[in-house]
């Protein structure tokens, strides 16, 4: 079987994993990538992940105000522009909503939490790597 360098490890000089084709990332980088792209839901539905009816109703109650472009992001404090993609943010312990957040602020916080969770299961120490600077296209951002 053919081997190739891990796409994620190529960005971090301290890690040089070789993996079997057709895989593109080692286990650690794949967990990091899945957390970044939002693919690591463990098969849970949106309701099971805390985005059910109550969440959708709370988000809808904010939508008109956010559309005016006068609401500040609950995470960074900067204004959410009219038409800009946004998410309804929740506290890090997921016990309450904190208000509208720029989509990038909300997803970056989720990325950090997911990556920390993935890395805590690993014996490797990994510094922030290749996916921290990736820019999503408009379709991937949902806009």
| All residues at 6 or more sequence positions from 108 whose CB lies less than 8 Å from its CB, including other chains | none
SS3 state at 73: coil
Q: What are the residue ranges of helices labelled H in the chain?
A: 27-37, 53-67, 103-120, 138-141
Task: Report the share of the chain in percent with pLDDT over 70.
Answer: 61
Q: Give the pLDDT band of residue 11 (cuts 50, 70, 90).
A: low
Residue 21 confidence (pLDDT): 83
Encode pLDDT of 92-108 as tens digits. 787 889 999 998 888 78
**How many residues are listed for the chain in this entry?**
143
Q: Extract the tokens encoding 27.
A: 């286990």
């Amino acid at each position: 079987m053919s081997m190739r360098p891990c796409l994620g490890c190529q960005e971090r000089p301290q890690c040089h994993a070789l993996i079997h084709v057709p895989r593109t990332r080692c286990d650690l980088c794949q967990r990091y990538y899945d957390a970044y792209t939002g693919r690591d839901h463990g098969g849970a539905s949106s309701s099971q992940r805390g985005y059910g009816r109550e969440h959708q109703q709370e988000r809808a109650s904010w939508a008109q105000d956010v559309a005016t472009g006068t609401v500040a992001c609950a995470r960074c404090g900067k204004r959410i522009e009219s038409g800009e993609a946004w998410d309804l943010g929740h506290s890090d312990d997921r016990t309450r909503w904190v208000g509208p957040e720029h989509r990038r602020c909300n997803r970056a916080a989720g990325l950090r939490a997911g990556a920390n969770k993935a890395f805590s299961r690993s014996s490797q120490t990994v510094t922030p790597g290749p996916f921290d600077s990736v820019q999503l296209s408009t379709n991937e951002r949902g806009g």
